[in-house]
Amino acid sequence: MTPTSNIAIQCLGYTPIPVALLSCDEVPRVDLYRKDAETGRLRLYRAAEVPMLPEDLTRLEQSKVGWLYTPEADHGEMQVYIRRKLDQLVGDNSISVRERFGRLNEVVSGILESTFEAGETDEVMQSSAYVASQAIKLLCQNEMTAGDLISLLHHDYQTVTHSLNVAYMMVTLAREMRLVSDSELFAVAVAGILHDIGKLSVSERILNKSQRLQRREERVAQKHPAHGFRRLCERTDISFAQLMVVYQHHERMTGKGYPVGAVGEEIHPWARLCSVVNVFESLVSNRPYRRRYPLTEAFQIMDGPLSAGLDREMYECWKQLILKK
């Protein structure tokens, strides 16, 4: 799988562009639209011929406007622009790795969100590959610690945010355990981003329900690994290990997981890796029905009955890595 420049996904005929990537001297000469906070409708913010001034960017930032939109006709130009700016950001040695990662994470979560919303597998794959390739460059710098990583992540639970966080954590744990070669870390990151792709086939009502799911709803939600597997299994740009992450990340060492109740080493090592950080990430994220657990409390919960279902060595390694900070 190769990273691609097709990262800016059209949203209702418009391409979202992160304000964080705009700079006055380099804003493409295209019409820019802004989303009205109340109606959600797009209205013209700046016509192509009007120059963008530094105070415009400051005002947008102060108003917490994270995204502007460009019309369909400019989609190609905007893709090239976004990619060039992200390449610059990631390679900019004048700012710390930690800060670059923080900014990258802001931008790519928005990009992935619009891709997942569109629900097209091809586009999700392309965006995931691009995002993974950029993230790997920063995550593999020794200046980034596990503590930095945790503090830079978003902690509100949404499928896309969760998937990105899991991807970053999988790379960090795989590196620490030397589970894969450096050249395979990219594939691990892509697998992490894709692990919940099957949720695209589960209704939002069930995914976002704030009360406890009924048994019937739970059964529907638990089909997401199988949905994900079916979505990806015939593709030639995904490896067996990546596919197993999608299919087996809710399996447990004890055989009490789903979709099939695989036991111990029947579960692929990459899927076991994903299980550990997936459980952890869920506990340290805010949910509609509870606040996130502090790190030490999350580990106390994982040390309880959950621990038997997780790969012991991987879990212990993750705990050490996070608690030592």
Binding site for Fe ion (CB under 5 A): 196
Cβ proximity to Fe ion, 70 vs 278, nearer residue: 278
Cβ proximity to Fe ion, 113 vs 196, nearer residue: 196
Task: Supply the minimum distance, in Å, between the C-beta of residue 28 and Fe ion.
Answer: 38
Cβ proximity to Fe ion, 196 vs 281, nearer residue: 196
Task: Supply the minimum distance, in Å, between the C-beta of residue 249 and Fe ion.
Answer: 6
Task: Supply the minimum distance, in Å, between the C-beta of residue 250 and Fe ion.
Answer: 6
Cβ proximity to Fe ion, 196 vs 251, nearer residue: 196
Task: Supply the minimum distance, in Å, between the C-beta of residue 7 and Fe ion.
Answer: 24
Cβ proximity to Fe ion, 6 vs 282, nearer residue: 282
Cβ proximity to Fe ion, 83 vs 227, nearer residue: 227
Give exposure, 90-126, as e/b (b: 16+ Cβ within 10 Å): beeeeeebbebbbbbbbbbbbbbbbbbebeeeebbbb
Task: Supply the minimum distance, in Å, between the C-beta of residue 282 and Fe ion.
Answer: 9
Task: Supply the minimum distance, in Å, between the C-beta of residue 222 and Fe ion.
Answer: 9
Task: Supply the minimum distance, in Å, between the C-beta of residue 196 and Fe ion.
Answer: 4
Cβ proximity to Fe ion, 132 vs 200, nearer residue: 200
Radius of gyration of the chain (CA): 20
* Residue in the shown chain whose Cβ atom is closest to Fe ion: 196
